[in-house]
Amino acid sequence: MRRLVLIATIWLAAVSLLQPLHAFADPADSALSQDNLTIISRTCVAAQGQLARVQINDKLVRINRGGSYSSLLKLMNSFNSRAASNNYDVSSLVPLSSSLSDKYQQFVGDFTKYDNSMDNVVQMNCQNQPAVFYSALTQTRGLRVQLAGDIKDMDQVVDQYQQSVVQFRATVVSHEGSSQ
């Protein structure tokens, strides 16, 4: 039975990080019963172990994804510069690469906040402060949701840039075809 409660708590902690944050209108709505606090206190150390593994995985994903966006930004800026130096109109491309740069910086900042919050959750004395642990876990989940939104925003800008490049290419091809 104890193992089942431990597994359920770990599962709830992991799932809670993946769910969107719901703000409570009244602090009384977020109050945990004494039974819930006891369960959290008994099983939180195991949950912290699982969260530490999630944190390690998230850092690796952030490094890989961040590197991909950084490389993509360099390629976009190089393409924009090269096209502009060849007297092509890149007015539809430059704002998109600038937007991606801004969104990437937001992602980096948001990841730092998330990682610091996750550090706090993993390192806190959850057995003595289960309500604080639960609150910090809820906050961390909200920060993770924000990261997912940042990634979605960056992906949308990349898609828009790709569409603009296709239009740019069609314009260049039609212009070069008519000048021959």
Q: What is the DSSP string of 48-110?
A: HHHHHHHHHHHHHHHHHHHHHHHHHHHHHHHHHHHHHHTT---TTTHHHHHHHHHHHHHHHHH
- Would you give per-residue pLDDT tens digits along the chain (180 residues)? 444 333 434 434 444 444 443 333 334 335 789 999 999 999 999 999 999 999 999 999 999 999 999 999 999 999 999 999 999 999 999 999 999 999 999 999 999 999 999 999 999 999 999 999 999 999 999 999 999 999 999 999 999 999 999 999 998 888 776 665
Dmax (CA) for the chain in angstroms is 81
Taking the mean position of all CA atoms in its chain, how far away is CA 24? 22
Matching residue, tokens 């039975």:
1
Q: Where are the domains of the chain?
A: 2-14+30-175
Count Cβ neighbours within 10 Å for each residue of 114-142 and write b for 16 or more, e otherwise.
bbebbeebbebebeebbeebbebbbbbbb
Residue 103 near residue 36 (C-beta atoms within 8 A): no
Residue 4 near residue 10 (C-beta atoms within 8 A): no
Read off the pTM: 0.76
